[in-house]
Amino acid sequence: MTYEDGMGRAAVRRRPTRGRVLTAAKVMLAWVALLWLLEVIDAASGHALDGFGIQPREPSELIDVVPASFIHFGFGHVAANSIPLLVLGFVAALGGLRRFFLACALIVVADGIGVWLVAPAHTNTAGASGLIFGLFGFVVLSGFVERRPLGVVAGVLIAAVWGTTFLAGLSPTNDGVSWQGHLIGLLAGVAAAFVLRRPPVTQAD
């Protein structure tokens, strides 16, 4: 399989190798382990890390835009986010770590700033769910944007398994849930799929 590398040159595109699969798995296991470690530290410190959540429209809170994605309000919160982050992050990382980390950075920053701008006053928002919604949008759309059959299949399967759950997470009626953060994260993930798209796969001559 070949593709144009953006400069008119033909280049080979291979399916994910075993090494790439193992690397993606290690990265996401380490990421999730970090979230649990931070929650252990938070619990042991009397929830001192909760202050890294985002309190909207406070200028000093802008420094918490990135840390907020790594902090959770209790073990139940981090547990609920662990599996979807692990799975969606793994699938996204199969496309290359550089692209994956760029997508995560775009989603986290856009989501954090969006929450800071539009979240209700006197709230404190933290957790990886904004990133998770972003990765959902990124993974589901990437295959279609890049016209990659395997990517399309992966996106369809993920949408079929989790689509209803993610749709429910956008409902404003969910108490104690930042639907604004979910929506902004999802939109950021969709944007990342376009901004970071790779050239479509074409058959070799």
With the C-alpha atoms ordered 144, 149, 155, 159, is the resulting torsion angle positive or negative? Answer: positive
pLDDT tens figures, 65-86: 999 999 999 999 999 999 999 9
Beta bridge partners of 54: 125
User: What pLDDT is attached to residue 174?
Assistant: 86
User: What pLDDT is attached to residue 14?
Assistant: 52
DSSP secondary structure letter of residue 8? S
Q: Indicate the average pLDDT of the chain.
A: 91
Mean pLDDT within 7-21: 63
Tokens of 66: 């990135």
pLDDT over 80 (residue 154): yes
Tokens of 71: 């902090």
201: part of which helix (H) or strand (E)? none
Q: What percent of the chain has pLDDT over 70?
A: 89
Give the Cα separation of 179 and 34 in Å (integer).
24
User: What pLDDT is attached to residue 6?
Assistant: 41
pTM: 0.90
User: What pLDDT is attached to residue 175?
Assistant: 85
pLDDT tens figures, 21-66: 999 999 999 999 999 999 999 999 999 999 999 999 999 999 999 9
